[in-house]
Each structure stands twice: as C-alpha cells, then as structure tokens.
Structure 1
C-alpha cells in the first residue's frame, strides 16, 4: 500500500487521465479506508497503464479533526504525506480537460458544488439507502451492510485475493470492526456479510490485532480531543442545515452550541438546557443536561424552527418594499455572523440529503460529557470574540 501511494503522488505531476476514487465529505474512517483500498485494488488488477488515485474528500488541514483516521494511519505505518486531499487536486479542471473519471465510495450523491462532476462518475459503491433521483447513471453497487469497507473487502477477495497485503488487510479489518461496534449482535450494526469478511481477513492474516484491542484503540482515538484547538473542536463533526441562505451549525463540544432560542422551549425532545453566562449580548451557549439527544436528533427541531421563522417573515401584500430590503440586509448580517463563527461554509451549498456524518457513525451515540476533556463556556466566547474581531479588522482595512 505504501509503495502504491507514493506512485499516486508522482502521477499527479504528470498530465494524464486519472481515475479518481472519491470518498464522502465526512471522510470518516470507513470513507478513507474504502477509497484507499478500492483504488489500490483497481490499480493492481487493471492491465492497461491507467492511473487510479484515492482522494480524501476534505482539505488536508481537516485531517487532525478525525482522530481515529490519524491514529490508524500511524499504527499501520502509512505516512499522512502520501495521502491526496481534495485541496491538492483540481477535479473540475481535470474534468473540463477530459482527463477525469470518478468512482464514488461510501456515498452516491454529489453536493451541489460538485454537480458538474456527475457526468464523470462511472461507478458507485455504497452501503446506505439509495436516493434514486440523485444517483448518477452508471454502474451502481449498493448493499445495506454495516461498513462500506466490507463491500471493498468482498470485491478484493472475490476478484484478486493475492494482491491483498498486510497493511490493506489491517485497514479493512479495523474499519469494519469499528463501524460494526466490535461485531456486537446486541447493537445490531453488523450484518452476516460484515461478520463473514472479518472472519475471512482473520483467516488470511492470523497476526491481525484482536478485535477487542483494535476496537478499543480506535474508539478511544475517535473521541480524543486533547490535541485540538478550540476552533478545531468547534468544527469537529460539525453538522449544518441551510434555509434560504441562512446557515445553522451544530458542533459537538461536549455541550451543544446553538443560535436558536427555540431549543430552550423544547420538550420533544427535552434538552434540559441551562444558559451559560455570557458577556456578549448576541451570543448564547447552553449546557445540555440531556446528553442522549444527539445533533442528528436536533436537526428536525432546527429545520422546523427555521421554516416557522421564514413563514412568519413573509411580507403581506401592499406592505412597503423597503421592509423587504431591511430584511435582506438583516439576512446578510446573519450570514456574515455565521461565516465568522464557521469559516469555510459555502452560502451556495444546498442542504445535504443526509447529515454529513455517515449513518453508521458512533459519534452520535457517544454521551457528550463522559470521559472527555471539558471546554468552558468562557473559552468558547473568547474564541468567537477573537474570530469576530478579526473579521471586523479585515473589513475595516478593506474600506480604507
């Protein structure tokens, strides 16, 4: 695997057609490993001199936010420097030059910003429910198993088991075990096919780590935030929803940061919120007493609140048009505030059909205040204030 990845980086320097294996935008362990392993398999089994390159669908700077990815790469001795990230390859330019074909793994819906790339998609390998109206017209393999890595393992073992090396086998083995919660039948994540291919990998590579050991190590690394800055913690596993140019972002910081007062009145679900002291009149944070309510469960509540807000803001017929102008200006102010808190969010990005975190993520089932470093409300306010001041200073300089 390591030698193969070195060749991939070298291939980027050559102007030649590329077959890119692209994971999803969450780039969790399953997405990363599936892209790496499938591209490796295709490169080893294609007779023609074609180049198959795995691309991680995040910027390189975002990798530290995925602790289990970083830990596993180090454990398997794959240098991060060999990986190719989305900000290191211009897929749109390659497509316009007629030099790109895409293979999607662990997702089958491209975001609005990548809509032009859909015609370059030649294959899909995924393990989540199909959205027929969005799926590209190409060869599609979708099966509802616990881990997409299971489908990649099946592809390799049925097609060319001899190309499987220890590094790739270890990556696939650990990923399936993490996604399927250590194959625990009580949890119900693992399917018979997941179990079958974990056992096959263990039979082929007897020196693979014990299931309990690798699961515990990856689980611990996944929730280890000790090396993250405050801003990185705000962005870690962030979820967003979009309504008419307005963005609402939810970040798990072992207490949920919200900008919607409707949460205080929520009884279904009951969040048990306690306002945290704030010196900033336009910033409110809460301590969430009910730690069993995940961000995915909060999304419908926020969507309902946003819909109600925009319904109430409709301009009655005959009302002065200037009010609409003021409202548009207020929307722009809210958008700028959102950008200062969560830089990098695209205003043109559509609401994703599924939350960015894959359906089999363990993040949403993790109690948010157990066994993890605490982040004070004061630290959050300080960081947000610094970001706001930085944005104001930049705006001031640009007007001079």
Structure 2
C-alpha cells in the first residue's frame, strides 16, 4: 500500500524505532549525533534525551525528493532516517537490564505510543563507534561520565543542563547550564527560542504526545509545580504551553499521581537494585571516586529490607568494589509520616575513613544533622563500622543536587 511520503513523524514510537534501527545498522565510518542523559537515567534525563533528539531531528531533516518511490509505513521511517546526513539518536546512560528498575519510565511509556524496548541504551552502542565521527549533546548533566568518558570526552559538542556548572567542555555550543526545575524545560525553551516555527511542522497527532512526554519530568521534579524553591520562570512558561497542547481529556492531577506512585513502587527491588536505580558517580581531580544512590524510602526501611546494618554494609561494600568507589553515599527520602531525608556516608578505603566525620564537623549546622536512627524509628541500628555514619537531615530543601557539590568539595581536600 502506498502512502503520502513522510516529511516528519506521526508518533514518538516511529521516531524511536527508526532511530534505534539506524543506530544498530550504522556504518562505523558514518557520523552520528548522540543525545546522552546523566548516569542515573532518571525521568528528566530519560525525557530530555528523547525530546532533544526528536526536535533536533524534525527541524534538520531534509524534505523528501519528489522522484523518490513511496513505501509502506515502516519503510518510510527507514527512508526518512536514510535522508539524514547525521542522525540524532537519544541514548540512556544505562544498560538494557537496568531500564526495568525505573517503573516511572514504564508508566510514562504506557501513556504514550512507545515501549521502553524502543529506546537505545548503552547496550546498543556499536563497539565500532568512531569518536572522531561522533558528536555528543549532554542533557541533564554537564560532564561526560564513564563508560563513555574515556573515549568520547572530546566528542561533546553541546550541553543543556540545570545542575552546578563544573566548567568542563567549555567549547560546547550551545552551552546552556542554568538553574531550572527540570532540564526538560530548558530543552523546550532552547528549541522554542532558536526555532520559533518548529511546532508548526508537527502533525496534530503528535502534539499531545510531545506535551505529555515533556510534562512528566517537569511536574515530578517540581512536585506538580508546588515546590516553590525549584520552580523557575522557564518551568512556568513551558508547563503553561505544554498543558495547552496536552490534548482534550488530559488530567494533570491523575497523570502526576500516576507517575509519583510508579516512581515510589520499589518494594520488589533487591538492595542492589535499589542502589542502582538512581545512581550518580563522580571522580575528583585527586582521584577520589564518590557514588551517590538516591532511594525513595527511609533509611530504616532500606536497612530492615537488607536484614540489618551489617547485611546492608555487606551489600554496600560489594557495590562499591564493583564500581571502584571510595566513598559510598546513600540519600533517602520518605513521605509516609511527613517528608523526611536520611543520609548515610561510608568512606570505604584507608584514605577516606575520616570523610564522614569531616562532613559532619563542617556541615552539621548547614544540614541540621541529627544522628540516625532517631527515637521512634522502626529499627535499632548501632553503626560500629569504621568510616560509616548516618543522620536524619533536618534541612529538607537540600536535595542531591545541592548536597553533591558539598560532598565533592570535601572529597577534593582528602
């Protein structure tokens, strides 16, 4: 059956399947543009990489030649990608087997046209990928991390991020590193600013899908726009515009609640899975490696699930050794009895044994640290492990985004 020749996509599923096929079949001598989110592969990175790659593709794609033969729908997608001199491909910074650790991603995909299997991950990177033929856009972080960093650091050509600027890849253009509730807001704003007519090239069938995709991390990262300390003007503008495009019958509250419920559904994960689900790692200039796992349950719940503090420390030790980490950090948040933050730090090597104490001595007042477990906690844990300390953090507004730079600064002085 012949169809009108495709000038753009009618669904995100078409784009993702086509980009993954083009990626897997890529000639190692052909150039490729990768859009890479951070190593936690959280909802903001997940959506940011897809949104940037999709919008970059539709505004740069050449029109089909009138002389080209028309094909069936699936071959039209392949034909579209074959017309791209440099395809823009979203990549999740995790292997395939870790995608299932993020149920909020599965929930979002269930509300849209694609499945998680459609999205390229590190497992899809061709071994023959040539760094000299590869350009990379970083989204939701501003320093390329392992395993890509050793080979592709010189390939970073552009950055859009909302974290603390680490002053790396300074030649990147554009290089947008400014505060915002969500990196997705900055990406939407970037394309809105520089390509003012790009929305007009999209068919109606995909307008609502793009809007719902983008709304997901913005709403999650700003507590449905109620976390005033996180919401910036760019978030307000983008939420307003995307809500207008989300389509008839879109229920913002139900959508947000569904994502939030899915994100908190971690009861089936092992301790290793909990540590891997939302993980970030940094290597400092002095060689110290920090690994930070964020878990959406209380520290007491995690320790009980592990079978006690000794069993939990055994899991942490294995996890640290597998990743070459010198300082293990676990940050937990819990809403079951009012919002709460707990923080565990363990310097696992001779060089880092005193790190937790240094953090407590210098940051006790700022973070308003209270020794964990507190009276009334449903766990009895006497931490007698050298180099390990844990606290309840009374400064509730200090999330990983604010805490990580402090931890890294202290680590750099070791």
TM range (shorter): 0.5 to 0.7
Matched ranges for 1:130-149 at <5 A: 130-149=165-184
Q: Which residue of 1 aligns with 2:346?
A: 259
Equivalent of 2:13, from 2, 22, 25? 2
Could you tell me how far apart the structure 1 residues matched to 2:46 and 2:18 are?
A: 18
Could you tell me how far apart the structure 2 residues matched to 1:301 and 1:43 are?
A: 38
Q: 1:74 to 1:112 in 2, by over 3 A?
A: closer
Q: Which residue of 1 aligns with 2:275?
A: 234
- What whole-Å deviation, never above 9, does each CA across 1:305-360 have from its counterpart, x for those lacking one? 8788x6xxxxxxxxxxxxxxxxxxxxxxxxxxxxxxxxxxxxxxxxxxxxxxxxxx
- What displacement does 1:177 show? 1.6
Q: Which residue of 2 aligns with 1:121?
A: 156
Contact 1:259 1:284 in 2 (8 A): yes
**3-state secondary structure, aligned to 1:182:** coil
Contact 1:109 1:134 in 2 (8 A): yes
Q: 1:131 to 1:81 in 2, by over 3 A?
A: same
Could you tell me how far apart the structure 1 residues matched to 2:251 and 2:345 are?
A: 41
Q: 1:137 to 1:39 in 2, by over 3 A?
A: closer
- What displacement does 1:286 show? 7.4
Q: Which residue of 1 aligns with 2:92?
A: 56
Q: 1:60 to 1:251 in 2, by over 3 A?
A: farther
Q: Which residue of 1 aligns with 2:329?
A: 250
Alignment root-mean-square deviation, CA: 3.6
Q: Which residue of 1 aligns with 2:213?
A: 171
Equivalent of 2:134, from 92, 97, 100? 100
Contact 1:236 1:252 in 2 (8 A): no
Within the alignment, does 1:224 sit opposite 2:265 as a pair?
yes
Could you tell me how far apart the structure 2 residues matched to 1:273 and 1:299 are?
A: 20
**3-state secondary structure, aligned to 1:183:** coil
Q: Which residue of 2 aligns with 1:13?
A: 25
Structure 2 length-normalised TM: 0.62
Q: 1:170 to 1:239 in 2, by over 3 A?
A: closer
Moved more, 114-123 or 36-45: 114-123
Give unpaired runs (5+ residues) of structure 1: 311-400
Q: Which has the higher strand share?
A: 2
- What displacement does 1:204 show? 2.6
Could you tell me how far apart the structure 2 residues matched to 1:4 and 1:175 are?
A: 20
Could you tell me how far apart the structure 1 residues matched to 2:51 and 2:256 are?
A: 20
Q: 1:235 to 1:118 in 2, by over 3 A?
A: closer
Contact 1:57 1:86 in 2 (8 A): yes
How many residues end up aligned between the 2 structures? Answer: 305
Q: Which residue of 2 aligns with 1:270?
A: 369
**3-state secondary structure, aligned to 1:181:** coil
Contact 1:126 1:141 in 2 (8 A): yes
Structure 1 length-normalised TM: 0.64
